[in-house]
Structure 1
Amino acid sequence: MGVVVVAAGSGTRLGADRPKAFVELAGATLLHHAVRGVLASGPDEVVVVVPEVRVAEAQSAIRSLVGSGPATTTVVPGGAERTDSVAAGLAALSPAVDVVLVHDAARCLTPVEVFERVLAALALGAKGAIPGLPVVDTIKVVDAGGMITDTPRRSSLRAVQTPQGFDREVLAAAHASGSTATDDAALVEALGHGVVVVEGDERALKITTPEDLARAERLLGSTRD
């Protein structure tokens, strides 16, 4: 099993002076927390995708985490869009990898149980599996003028997270299709493959704003109490 950790975000909405993955949370970068969580899931290979100017820094930052474990860890430069970065990570995995998890470094507190649920779904034959949580807010669909056009039932909605797991060949074909999307599941869905949703976790929040970072600090503190 291989994991592509996408850590190429700019951090603009976080108000940071550096890429998001290199912002600190409780004394360590988001990237550090994320890679530590990924390694706990027992991958054979990990590819971390970062901005080109941060490759050496990322290599140094994660060196102490890898140690003598079985995972091969590589750092590669990302692209202009998320899909470009994931494709770069895929290309860096060895041909022996047949199952790939794509994980966002911004979801750096994702517990290992979420990785395990995704992998279990793939082991049962799913071509794609992603974690998600039930939506608690009422969602409205609106047109360009702000007029409501639909109110979908909350019972059928999920707020999805990462890691998103896929059959390697299916994910590679999805990225080779030339489509763009906000997540890899959408690319795989566009090829006609089914993607199953497994139970996510509140701790797998995506850190995007200063408020998210403060929430992550609280979550991390509660796990240490």
Structure 2
Amino acid sequence: MIIGTVIVAAGRGERAGSPEEGPKQYRPIGGEPVIRRTLREVLNWPRRGPVVAVIHPDDESLFASACAGLSGASDLHITHGGSTRQQSVLSGLRRLRDSEATHVLIHDAARPFLDHALLDRVAGAWEAGLAAVIPALPVTDTLKRATPAAMIEDTVPRNGLWAAQTPQGFVLADILSAHEAAFRSGRSDFTDDASIAEWAGMPVHLVEGSADNVKLTLKRDIAMADEKLSRQPLIPDVRTGNGYDVHQLVPGDGVTLCGVFLAHDQALRGHSDADVALHALTDALLATCGAGDIGDHFPPSDPQWKGAPSRIFLAHAAKIVRQNGGIITNADVSIIAEAPKIGPHRQAMRQNLSDILEISIDRCSIKATTNETIGFVGRREGIAAIATATVVYGAITP
């Protein structure tokens, strides 16, 4: 199966604004012509074969400018369209007839938001044995039939009604034959290629369309597409801060870690309660908004902090984060010590972090490891802690 594509781009787009603005398929959205976006998606599809662009004879320079520098543009085959879409499609199919294509996708240039997933669904239906396939979405609006005087005659049941999209896919020889027959019969009132296939007695199947695959018809449609593509996307401003602290062990009766006193034959030396874990986490939080470190806010030379509980420092850092618009989403502390054992106290430590930071306990993590008797920690000369804090500060534009 070799898949050719016909891109229909010969229309004048009378409903899309004044003629001075040019055909709608060449108007810019997101800084580039509509047709360029459409062609790029088709040309970059791994399964595509020959591609025919059907353009108006007056648009050759517009088309060349729209395609300038586009990857794969040198593979395009160009032909001129007629006064109706039906005539333009027939011209494209005739041009494709001389290629190696066995199947064809017929797509409107004014649908620039098609994607590879949609193309794959149509090709997948062919592989499942179907010959004629169109993407469509179920009709969700209530439909009314009205008189010429704009009076409602009745409500049309929407069960079983679908809104057809492109690209519509067919066996090339079948749809070309159907188009030729319609041309010979003088019929020119078909609104899409599936309706010609139906008229020729071909069964046509539906695959799931795409809500994004809209057709740009009115000037307002083009303006909305341009706004959508030109709008700077917002991404979450997620920041991660790291903190590290170490305190010396001296003879004593216990250590305080994450606000929990653990009986031990040593104590941690420090100006405050020497809670190495909370000190590291304090630095991690301050780092997320560039607010310095713990020593900048609580200098060890200040006597008022002698013996102070380190939860004061952590609560202060959390307050600074919130004043800067931050939301604390995670706090993780790794304690590095040979002794005492942390495991029996882990839950109490996590609860303390939850209370101080005012976040749920599932966002608080405490881990512990030894230093395998290596270095100052291994010799029980000190305890170290490494902390990581994650804070979200709203959103930013890239």
Is residue 49 of structure 2 the alignment partner of residue 40 of structure 1? Answer: no
Preserved CA contact (<8 Å) 1:140 1:152: yes
TM-score (norm 2): 0.52
Deviation at 1:143, TM superposition (A): 5.4
Code of the residue aligned with 1:154 in structure 2: it is R
- Matched with 2:157 is 153
Deviation at 1:119, TM superposition (A): 1.1
Instruction: Name the SS for the 1:66 alignment partner.
Output: coil
Deviation at 1:211, TM superposition (A): 1.9
Give the length in aligned residue pairs: 223
Preserved CA contact (<8 Å) 1:55 1:77: no
TM-score (norm 1): 0.89
- Matched with 2:77 is 74
- Matched with 1:23 is 27
Code of the residue aligned with 1:97 in structure 2: it is A
Aligned counterpart for 2:219 among listed residues 204, 207, 210: 210
Preserved CA contact (<8 Å) 1:59 1:75: no
How far apart are the structure 2 equivalents of 1:188 and 1:143?
30
Where do residues 24-173 of structure 1 align in structure 2 (5 Å cutoff)?
24-42=28-46, 43-67=48-72, 72-93=75-96, 94-142=98-146, 151-173=155-177
Aligned counterpart for 2:14 among listed residues 2, 12, 15: 12
Q: Which sits farther off after the overlay, 84-93 or 12-21?
A: 12-21
How far apart are the structure 2 equivalents of 1:20 and 1:88?
21
How far apart are the structure 2 equivalents of 1:196 and 1:205?
20
CA gap 1:28/1:158 in 2 versus in 1, 3 angstroms: same
Preserved CA contact (<8 Å) 2:134 2:164: yes
Code of the residue aligned with 1:153 in structure 2: it is P
Structure with larger RCO (C-alpha < 8 A, sep 6+): 1
Preserved CA contact (<8 Å) 2:9 2:110: yes
How far apart are the structure 2 equivalents of 1:158 and 1:183?
14
Preserved CA contact (<8 Å) 2:31 2:230: no
How far apart are the structure 2 equivalents of 1:150 and 1:27?
44
Code of the residue aligned with 1:169 in structure 2: it is A
Instruction: Name the SS for the 2:16 alignment partner.
Output: coil
- Give CA-to-partner distance per residue, 1:79-135, whole Å, 9 cap, x none: 011111011111111342110000001001112211111111122121211111111
Task: From the CA coordinates, give the structure whose radius of gyration is larger.
Answer: 2
Unaligned runs of at least 5 residues, structure 1? none
How far apart are the structure 1 equivalents of 2:157 and 2:222?
30
Instruction: Name the SS for the 1:102 alignment partner.
Output: strand
Deviation at 1:23, TM superposition (A): 0.8
How far apart are the structure 1 equivalents of 2:122 and 2:143?
26
Q: Which sits farther off after the overlay, 166-175 or 135-144?
A: 135-144
Preserved CA contact (<8 Å) 2:143 2:158: yes
Preserved CA contact (<8 Å) 1:130 1:161: yes
CA gap 1:223/1:121 in 2 versus in 1, 3 angstroms: farther
Identity score, percent? 36
Preserved CA contact (<8 Å) 2:111 2:213: yes
Preserved CA contact (<8 Å) 2:50 2:99: no
CA gap 1:31/1:139 in 2 versus in 1, 3 angstroms: same
How far apart are the structure 1 equivalents of 2:220 and 2:126?
34
Preserved CA contact (<8 Å) 2:16 2:24: yes
Code of the residue aligned with 1:193 in structure 2: it is M
CA gap 1:187/1:223 in 2 versus in 1, 3 angstroms: farther
CA RMSD of superposed structures (Å): 2.2
How far apart are the structure 2 equivalents of 1:21 and 1:205?
13
Deviation at 1:40, TM superposition (A): 2.6
Q: Which has the higher strand share?
A: 2
- Give CA-to-partner distance per residue, 1:162-216, whole Å, 9 cap, x none: 1000011111111011233110000001111111111111111000112211332
How far apart are the structure 1 equivalents of 2:232 and 2:158?
30
Q: Which sits farther off after the overlay, 93-102 or 150-159?
A: 150-159
Instruction: Name the SS for the 1:76 alignment partner.
Output: strand
